[in-house]
Structure 1
């Protein structure tokens, strides 16, 4: 560092005072100097290259220092990163604004707007979309009192835009019958890491394949685990942010990982998953790795990526809860088509009946059966109460949609007696 701050006398002799720029030099400026010096001789140019490298390292260190700068001792102002879901329904967007002082609740934050024509959410002639702050998390990237803000989007007239799935979910979770049942969710988010230059899974030979699945699930070692540093960084960042992350693990397909969020109550589950996804996008951005939530990123004899959703209500968790679970499963069987249509794009490539999935066209359930649409754990069966696991949602599902639909189908929707009787007969044959 001393050499960088105080150039050697040899360097000072090579550049005259008039040639020193008044502003910090960029990498292009140094490259220009190197090219000019190359014309004078190789011996001289080598010293230019060494110093240029040191200067660039110094510039990077200065930038890192500013990125890590703690503003708390100097100002009450904070940076709020407003986050929302874009037009595809799966892309996260964000932008920053200064807030005059630290806040503790989303209601203290102002509404904001963005150009919806640039995100596929509004026409160019009427492009303004309004952001409503809904949930706050600590910002693990900026630190201090800075925050991440999960928002949903509305027209200037106050109507939710079509991609605002949170609004409908909030209506379901504000129903008194749902509130009384205190719905718990534990969401298992699987994702795949890709090499940025070829969009091929991390750790895979370019244009080729690793050894068959088997040693990679929860594996350790340079030939089995690819991307652990990203998974660990994400885990810690989520804990710092206040996300209710409960664990992580390497998945069956190499280059694929999973994190779990929960148990979370009601709308909170969706807020936490979206915040965790945003943080993961930012970490992979910094690592130069591509994140994909495609439910079947590699065709063939490889596991797909799901977002298994564990679910229970107060009645399911109490004595006699297993019978309530069975009734919920019956309702889910009758609305299988509605659920599948809302459980993620491309899910038909994943739900084939192979690789620990059920067929997309047939509803099934079973105890400890990972090849069923709904799995019930052995402990739940033994204790007569507990939870169910919906294994149908794809990795790219909207958590607001899935959690609200589970509550709606099992708590608010009532089938006809005839449909209920027929479904009970079918389910009895499946078990």
Structure 2
């Protein structure tokens, strides 16, 4: 039932220009309008009156919604698989659909597919075919039923991973016996900002102006403090439906900014779950008419940036004496600080300024319960470290595998280790 407000003297009817699907108002609809006008007769002198008109059951909008909600399961074994991959920028997501003859339970049951890499910045026009390899499956919260979302990575027709395929290298690291033995756990905190569609200004902010200063917005409640909660909640439920290991969500420090957490996840699974959760968030904001940005510093000035803090631990860290293993890992991370920073997201230098709960991008630091450090060790257990440096637009395949490589596989020279231990006041 649609609620309509109209002036009492002049009826205002908005019709879409040049629309072939526009329908005239029927006698039944006019009767409904006039009936409700008479019922409101006691409110004479009012500039407006409220009327109710029943939507036509045969309207185009209703038919479209019915088809979108249609469950095909009773009528066919065929399902729709949405193949998802990462585009040429390394952060843009692409997808397309295909019909599969029956439900599947593992990506190995799915066929490889291809796409035009010249249209995504991943191949030249004269040799544009790129091959998609299905790698992970999630339930499709948009189509429902047995339909699925498929996370893929990209290869040349000869079977070589293309340069933007970061999953391939990550899978190699996570399949190393030393890494497998350490069972690396990840908990990733994905921050994001919602923008108004036409002006690209944060949701809830006055256009061309600023809201009140930060303070009341973090985990805030109320129409003047929380902007976009429905999107956050819709995303939360969609991820749970899909099988993504989402563990929580909250409003962030800057108004219009949100965070959700995924994990604990083991190995390559962490990257698969984050990428699929980002895809779902893109689709939800698309439907809501809101723009999603993972820019690490969407608003310059005295506003918090957006990160993707990565919680990390290994089997050795979680066992008795694990704090000593953590300190050795911190030492290794300090020696590869520049290499990690260069892989932690484009534009991160605008966020890692030493202000707004960040460490300076050029300085490595660590501490227990210190939110301004590069690496924060939790006070409650001192058995898990959080890398606070990754930007919100980081590639989770790169960050998770680099952490495992640096802390499990990579060994510094004894001289470098001694100098770093002295500098960081670590006794390893």
Question: What interval of TM-score do these two structures reach, taking the shorter chain for normalisation?
Answer: 0.7 to 0.9
Structure 1 pair 71–355 and aligned structure 2 pair: CA distance change class (3 A): same
- 2:320 matches 1:319: yes
Q: Provide the residue aligned with 1:71 in structure 2.
A: 72
Q: Provide the residue aligned with 2:387 in structure 1.
A: 390
Question: Equivalences for 1:14-413 in 2 at 5 Å?
Answer: 28-29=19-20, 54=55, 58-381=59-382, 386-413=383-410
TM superposition outliers: structure 1 runs of 4+ over 6 Å: none
Structure 1 pair 181–54 and aligned structure 2 pair: CA distance change class (3 A): same
1:76-107 CA-to-partner distances (Å, cap 9, x unmatched) read 00000000000000000000000000000000
State the alpha-carbon separation in 2 of the partners of residues 182 and 88 from structure 1. 31
- 2:427 matches 1:426: no
State the alpha-carbon separation in 1 of the partners of residues 228 and 186 from structure 2. 27
State the alpha-carbon separation in 1 of the partners of residues 328 and 276 from structure 2. 33
Cα distance, 1:145 vs. partner?
Answer: 0.1
**Which structure 2 residue ranges, 5 or more long, are not aligned?**
2-15, 26-50
How high is the TM-score relative to the length of structure 2? 0.88
Structure 1 pair 26–138 and aligned structure 2 pair: CA distance change class (3 A): farther
SS of 2:20's equivalent in the other structure is helix
1:210-233 CA-to-partner distances (Å, cap 9, x unmatched) read 000000000000000000000000
State the alpha-carbon separation in 2 of the partners of residues 70 and 224 from structure 1. 39
**Which structure 1 residue ranges, 5 or more long, are not aligned?**
2-24, 35-49
Structure 1 pair 30–80 and aligned structure 2 pair: CA distance change class (3 A): closer
SS of 2:381's equivalent in the other structure is helix
Cα distance, 1:380 vs. partner?
Answer: 2.3
Cα distance, 1:294 vs. partner?
Answer: 0.0
How high is the TM-score relative to the length of structure 1? 0.87
Contact 1:322 1:380 in 2 (8 A): no
Cα distance, 1:53 vs. partner?
Answer: 10
SS of 1:29's equivalent in the other structure is coil
1:43-69 CA-to-partner distances (Å, cap 9, x unmatched) read xxxxxxx9x995698211110110000
Contact 2:21 2:60 in 1 (8 A): no
Contact 1:342 1:397 in 2 (8 A): yes
Contact 1:368 1:378 in 2 (8 A): yes
1:229-275 CA-to-partner distances (Å, cap 9, x unmatched) read 00000000000000000000000000000000000000000000000
Q: Provide the residue aligned with 1:11 in structure 2.
A: none
SS of 1:191's equivalent in the other structure is strand
Bigger proportion of residues as helix? 1
Contact 1:27 1:56 in 2 (8 A): no
